[in-house]
Amino acid sequence: MDIQNELSSFMSGDRVHSRLIDRIAFATDASYFRLVPKAVVQPVSIDEIKSLFRFSQHHRIPLTFRAAGTSLSGQAVTDGILVDISKHWMQYSVVDEGKCIKFQPGIIGGFLNNVLKPYRHRLGPDPASIDSAMMGGILANNSSGMCCGVTENAYRTLDSMTIVLPNGFVIDTSASDAVEQFQQGAPHIASGLLELKKRLISAPADSNHPRETLADRVRRRYQMKNNNGYLLNAFLDFDNPLDILKHLMIGSEGTLGFIAEAKLKTLPDFSRKYTGQLYFTNIHDAASAIYPLKQSGARAAEIMDRASLRSIENLPGAPSILAQLPESAAAILVEYQSETAEELSAYKRNIRQAMSEIKLLKGSLSESDQDMGFTEEPVRQAALWKLRKGIIPSVGAVRPPLTTLLTEDIVFPVPRLAEAITDLQGLFNTHGYSEGVIFGHAKDGNLHFLIAQSFESAGEVNRFEQFNNELVKLVSGKYDGALKAEHGTGRSMAPFVETEWGESAYAIIARS
């Protein structure tokens, strides 16, 4: 098959790239995976997307949609057809004085936040990569971040979307007759979603979780961040099959269809912020501080182990204390946000109370500092956040030769976070990752870790496989946490969806 000519039969040839050099350029994203696509295409319209679906089905070549390619878990690479939507899908409009925003998938999230600033609103999803990541990926991976937790992500703030299904059916869910369109145009899908809903509700407890039904387990597990598999809570949260579908699209990583446009409800952009960095003797003490900080109203509580801090201690603007910390030390970047001065004053009282419940590194705060190291100055706040967001590139820059930087995002129950971090560090030591780095959105029990891994030998591959298997047992087994929090399921954890969810839930995911 002449793939260049075949694809050029329904889109301009200058938007079809089949030369090896072009395909290799798109063989990687921000993850450690590498797959060379058969071709890279850049469609400009829904009609071309529909033609791509027909091509895919006729030739049995999969499509993978890619926006900015900032994926840390390998969703934006393929050995099929890579559909690059970063060039021609950038339209947007502000709706209802900034209370909503409508956009196409090829626009950068941070750009939309800048558009919303005059309206004093913002997007709910707040991934650290928001100034690079595009909205197609943010929705398709249900990305979250420092503050949004499980209440402000794309799933919770979604208003409507225009969906192109693989069978060519297109629907704008905001249309007044959208429900009727869906039931008439895709009746088998509509009825199938309702059947899966009934199946989930009626499913009994399984042998691994005998004390709760599947519905109860789904409800409980989505009280924490969880992007492992499709978002099963859609079947419980909604009764209308179209509402179920549009919420299943969030976090589906492009596997259910194409999001041509979406509309999100926005949130107030808090004008007052109170930010500080707290230091602890060890990461166990830091993790133990998360719950009282969360209870005090912290919007963000970003934990960083000593290896994280070491990676940024020489960057411009880094506090001088970083270089003086003991080898076991850890830190938490804490931020409170409010709309009024009265609310912020209340938070300040709360943080003073929380300080009496946590064990700080002795001497890390000045006794004369009435604000305990916190600041309301935007420049100082931005400097602290810049350092936190610089951990991944800083660690990556000093990784050993012939290694790649691996990252995953996992979730533990917050009350057991200190114990879980200790166990995770034990895994690092057992499998020879003494340089492992732990940081992340600890307010939600969401941790990221970084390890340097070589794949140069069978022994190294085996080491990583053994570590991964033990990680799954730790997260899904001992702690009943989530293997994926906000990066989408991704390629590395996809084989473990059934392990985490169990046979009944996985059957519903597979049937979806």
**384-432 pLDDT, tens per residue?**
999 999 999 999 888 899 899 999 999 999 999 999 999 999 999 999 9
Query: Is the separation of the CB atoms in 348 and 298 below 8 Å?
Result: no
Boundaries of CATH 3.30.465.10 in the chain? 92-268
- What does CATH list as the number for 3-84? 3.30.43.10
Which amino acid is residue 105, in one-letter code?
P
Residue 362 has what pLDDT? Answer: 76
Q: What gap in Å lies between CA 463 and CA 366, rounded to an integer?
A: 45
- CA 222 distance to own-chain centroid: 14
- Work out the angle at residue 226's Cα, subtended by the Cα atoms of residues 173 and 239, and round it to the nearest 5 degrees: 35
Domain 401-511 maps to which CATH number in 3.30.70.2740, 3.40.50.300, 3.90.1150.10, 3.30.470.10? 3.30.70.2740
Residue 494 is encoded by which pair of tokens? 């996809």
CA nearest neighbour of 70 among 120, 117, 127: 127
> Any idea which fold 272-393 has?
Alpha-Beta Plaits (3.30.70)
Which amino acid is residue 263, in one-letter code?
K
Q: Does this model's pTM top 0.85?
A: yes
Query: Is the separation of the CB atoms in 272 and 203 below 8 Å?
Result: no
Boundaries of CATH 3.30.70.2740 in the chain? 401-511
Residue 174 has what pLDDT? Answer: 97
Q: Which residue stretches of the chain have pLDDT < 70? A: 363-372
Alpha helices (runs of H) in 274-370, residue ranges in sequence order? 283-295, 306-312, 341-355
Residue 365 has what pLDDT? Answer: 57
Helix (H, G, I), strand (E, B) or coil at 95: strand
Size of the chain, expressed as the number of residues it contains: 512
Alpha-carbon separation of residue 201 from 85, 155, 217, 232 (angstroms) = 37, 21, 11, 11
Which amino acid is residue 9, in one-letter code?
S
Burial class (CB in 10 A: 0-12, 13-18, 19+), 181: middle
Could you tell me which residues are beta bridge partners of residue 301? 334
DSSP sequence for 224-237: S---SSS-THHHHH
Residue 155 has what pLDDT? Answer: 97
Q: What gap in Å lies between CA 346 and CA 276, rounded to an integer?
A: 16
Residue 372 has what pLDDT? Answer: 62
Boundaries of CATH 3.30.70.2190 in the chain? 272-393
- What does CATH list as the number for 92-268? 3.30.465.10
First to last CA, the chain: 32
